Amino acid sequence: MAALAQDPGRASRIRRRSHRPPRSLGTLRPVRRRAPKPQGRRRSRNHRPRPSPRITRRTESTASRRRETWRTSERKTALAPSYVSYSEFVTTNSVSPSPEESLDRYLRHLQHGRGLSHHTIRNYRSDISHFLAWLEQHDHQLADLSRADYRQYLADIRSGGIAEASVRRRASTIRSFTRHLNRTDEIERDPLVLASTPKATSHLPTVLSQRDIEALLSVPDISTPSGIRDRAMLEVLYGSGLRVSELVGMRMTDHDDDYNAIRVLGKGDKQRMALLGKSARQWLQRYLRDGRPALVTSKSQTWLWLNRFGGPLSARAVQLSVRRYAQRACLPGDVHPHLLRHSFATHMIDGGADVRVVQELLGHASVS
């Protein structure tokens, strides 16, 4: 009572607190208790905790890796010629590869790096070797090659009776060779980077007429196994538009009689399905039934086209056979297997076939 008398407002506060509604059980908050402090020796303010064994091992391994990296860098510094670029190595050792060694390295790159065929590698070697011999004959160095030397070489071979297509091929081959030498730091700069390749003159390919094709197909003697083989070979060359390399590379498993198609391996090791016409299909079946069994020997394996000894038929043998049969048929000009391919494409387009369809049948990357 004395407290109420000293503080008049206390009675009103007690009265208001007594009229408050009680809290529901859902609004009660749990009491948070603090964990008791561990009883032990008190640590000083400057105390440092001892690191765990795991942290110690990690620190030691990091330090050891750093020491090992430093030692490796010392070894690399001691063996600097093995870790520098090719140009720095040549400058340090004062040794430069000969043009023949550079050519061998370039051809290995084309064979293993780009997967070019054996015939393409042979043409590259022939063209570049001829160019290197010309440089040596005129006392020019490959490292000091200029665009004037390049143009003079092209003028010399053009005046020597080389065909325009061969001149363009050699020009492209030489420019590719110098670009590779500059890329591998065997020469400081590419002297032919701004040189131009001779432009090709556009002309239509020579083709055989329908009458010439019929005369050529009727020449082989179909009473012998070799004659049946040659007739079927000519039918497939013309009826499917194959390259001679695609023809001689065929196996027995490449012929699909159900779909009238054959699987061939074209340029760049690209496979495609070539269609067979009715006549080509009939003669191929006759060759498999009557011609090939008479030519098979122990070394025939699975080759489709066989020579008289039972081995695989070569591209040169096909070229000679086509030329011989063309002479017997009294056909004008030089007739070769690729001429049958041109004739196939021309006759298809003249018959109303779409250019894109002919492109797919021939296995060309572009319409041109």
Dihedral (CA of 349, 353, 357, 361) sign:
negative
Query: What are the sequence ranges of the domains in the chain?
Result: 72-203, 210-362
d(CA 170, CA 178): 12
Residue with tokens 């948070």: 32
Q: Note the residue count of the chain.
A: 368
| Position with higher pLDDT, 255 vs 149 | 149
| Position with higher pLDDT, 304 vs 12 | 304
Which contacts qualify for 106-114: CB closer than 8 Å, 24 or more apart? 106/177, 106/180, 106/181, 109/180
Mean pLDDT of the chain: 79
How far out from the chain centre does Cα 276 lie?
A: 29
| Position with higher pLDDT, 355 vs 95 | 355
d(CA 140, CA 155): 16
Position 81 pLDDT exceeds 50: no
User: Which is the CATH superfamily of the domain at 72-203?
Assistant: Tyrosine recombinase, N-terminal domain (1.10.150.130)
Residue type, 50: R
Contacts of 97 (CB under 8 A, 6+ apart): 105, 186
Number of other CB atoms surrounding residue 217 within 10 Å: 19
pTM above 0.75, yes or no: no
Phi, psi of 354 (to 5 degrees): -75, 145
Q: For residue 67, what are its two tokens?
A: 């020491």
CA dihedral 315, 320, 326, 332 (to 10 degrees): 100
Same fold, 72-203 and 210-362: no
| Of the options 3.40.50.1970, 1.10.443.10, 1.10.1490.10, 1.10.10.10, the CATH number for the domain spanning 210-362 | 1.10.443.10
Number of other CB atoms surrounding residue 251 within 10 Å: 15
Q: Are 265 and 248 in contact (CB under 8 A)?
A: no
Dihedral (CA of 107, 113, 114, 119) sign:
positive
Q: Are 146 and 191 in contact (CB under 8 A)?
A: yes
Q: Are 335 and 323 in contact (CB under 8 A)?
A: yes
% of the chain beyond a pLDDT of 70: 71
Dihedral (CA of 235, 238, 244, 250) sign:
negative
Q: pLDDT for 89-98, tens place per residue? A: 444 444 578 8
Banded pLDDT at 248 (limits 50, 70, 90):
very high
d(CA 310, CA 229): 12
Position 330 pLDDT exceeds 50: yes
Q: pLDDT for 285-315, tens place per residue? A: 999 999 999 999 988 888 999 999 999 999 9
Backbone Cα Rg of the chain: 42
User: What 8-state DSSP symbol labels residue 38?
Assistant: P
Contacts of 115 (CB under 8 A, 6+ apart): 268, 269
